Amino acid sequence: MSAAIEVEGLSHVYGGTVPALEDISLRVPAGRFTVIVGPSGCGKTSLLMMLAGLRTQTRGAITCLGKPIPQPDPERVGVIFQEASLYPWLTSLENIEFPLSLRGTPKGEMRRRAEAMLELVGLTGFGGRYPHELSGGMKQRVSIARGLVQDPPVLLMDEPFAALDEQTRMTMGHELLRI
C-alpha cells in the first residue's frame, strides 16, 4: 500500500535549546486512520504542525503523497485544530466557504458544499450566525466542517472533538468514519 505520509529522522528543537521531537520516523499508509498517542507536552501537536507544513523541522524529511511538505499545501493536507480558529467577521457558512474561495471554487458549488457540511455537523440553520453567537462546541463543529469541506487527500486532526460534549463527540466520530 502506498504511503500518504512518510517521516524520516525528524527532529525539532525550539529556540535552539528545547528538544520537542528527536529522530522520529513513521509511515502512514494511504486510506488509513492513524492515531498518535502520548502525554501532554510530548510533541504530538509539534509533529502535526510539521506534517501540515506550518512549522519547519530542525532535521529530517517529511513527504506527503510522495512530495515534500515545505509549507502549507491545502490541496494535499487539511488540518482541523484542537481549538476553533474561526474568522469573527465571517458567518458560520462563510467560515466554511473560506478555504474553497481561496481555491476559486464557483460560488454556487461553494455554497452547496458548505451547507452540506453544516448539515453534517448538525448545525443546519446556524449558517448566518457569527462565531460570537455560537457556543464553544458549535464553533468547533464549524471548524470541523471547514476542514472537511476541503476534501483533502490527507486530513490531520489535533484533538478536534475535545471541546464537544460526549453525545456530539460520538456522533462526529461516527460521521468521520463514514466519510
Q: What is the DSSP string of 104-124?
A: T--HHHHHHHHHHHHHHTT-T
The mean per-residue pLDDT over the stretch 2-20 comes to: 90
| pTM of the predicted model as reported, rounded to 2 decimal places | 0.82
> Going from the N-terminus, what domains does the chain have, and what CATH number goes with each?
1-73 (3.40.50.300), 74-179 (3.40.50.300)
The mean per-residue pLDDT over the stretch 135-144 comes to: 89
pLDDT tens, position by position, 46-102: 999 999 998 989 999 999 999 998 888 888 888 888 888 899 999 999 999 998 998
Q: Does the pLDDT value for residue 161 go beyond 80?
A: no
**What count of residues does the chain have?**
179
Q: Does the pLDDT value for residue 179 go beyond 80?
A: no
